[in-house]
């Protein structure tokens, strides 16, 4: 078994229930409680959030956290980058749908781009979202 699928004790488990694209998503602790609505681009009302937005927010936050971890491990100070995740929904030939992600990392002002690129690559290797998507959907990394 690989390290990502070992039966070790979970550090944390989040749980939420959703009722579809038009409805509601609620975490078991009540801290997340959002109205869901398909975006207008997909013929929906756009009157709520959608799974792609939730995935983008989660991936951006997780990747930013992973950047902080690898920066601390590398003893790089002053690294407070922000991450924007664009999650795109695409039709498949089989009539289903697939996702693609573009992550853009904005480095702190004056930060060395080569060091930043190295940290981004390291973060991509340790981020749980990156690990979950690796080999499943395209993920593009860029630095602003």
pTM, entire model? 0.90
Which token pair is 35?
């109205």
Give the model's pLDDT for residue 54: 97
Q: Where exactly does CATH 3.30.300.20 map onto the chain?
A: 51-143
Query: Span 51-143: which CATH code?
Result: 3.30.300.20
Backbone angles phi, psi at 74, to 5 degrees: -85, 0
Q: Kindly report the number of other CB atoms within 10 A of residue 69's CB atom.
A: 14
User: DSSP readout, 58-101?
Assistant: HHHHHHHHHHHHHHHHTT--S---EEEEEEEEEE-TTS-EEEEE
Give the model's pLDDT for residue 1: 42
Q: Where exactly does CATH 2.20.25.10 map onto the chain?
A: 14-49
SS3 55: helix
In the chain, how long is the greatest CA-to-CA distance? 48
Give the model's pLDDT for residue 80: 87
Q: What is the pLDDT along the chain (144 residues), one digit of tens a residue?
A: 445 556 689 999 999 999 988 999 999 999 999 999 999 999 999 999 999 999 999 999 999 999 999 999 999 987 889 999 999 999 999 999 999 999 999 998 888 899 999 999 999 999 999 999 999 999 999 999
Give the model's pLDDT for residue 110: 86
Q: At what angle do helices 51-73 and 113-126 cross, to 10 degrees?
A: 120
DSSP letter at 112? Answer: -
Which token pair is 79?
């690294």
* The listed CATH number (3.40.630.30, 2.20.25.10, 3.40.50.1220, 1.20.910.10) that belongs to domain 14-49: 2.20.25.10
Residues in the chain: 144
Q: How far apart are the first and last CA of the chain?
A: 37
């Amino acid at each position: 078994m690989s390290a990502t699928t070992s039966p070790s004790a979970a550090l944390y488990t989040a749980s939420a229930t959703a009722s579809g694209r038009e409805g509601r998503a609620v975490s078991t602790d009540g801290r997340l409680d959002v109205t869901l609505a398909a975006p207008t681009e997909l013929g929906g009302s756009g009157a709520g959030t959608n799974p792609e937005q939730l995935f983008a927010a989660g991936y951006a936050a997780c990747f930013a956290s992973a950047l902080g971890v690898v920066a601390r491990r590398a003893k790089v100070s002053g690294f407070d980058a922000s991450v924007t995740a664009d999650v795109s929904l695409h039709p498949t030939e089989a009539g289903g749908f697939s996702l693609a992600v573009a992550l853009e990392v904005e480095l702190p002002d004056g930060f060395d781009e080569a060091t930043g690129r190295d940290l981004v690559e390291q973060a991509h290797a340790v981020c749980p979202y990156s690990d979950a998507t690796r080999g499943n959907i395209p993920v593009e990394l860029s630095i602003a």
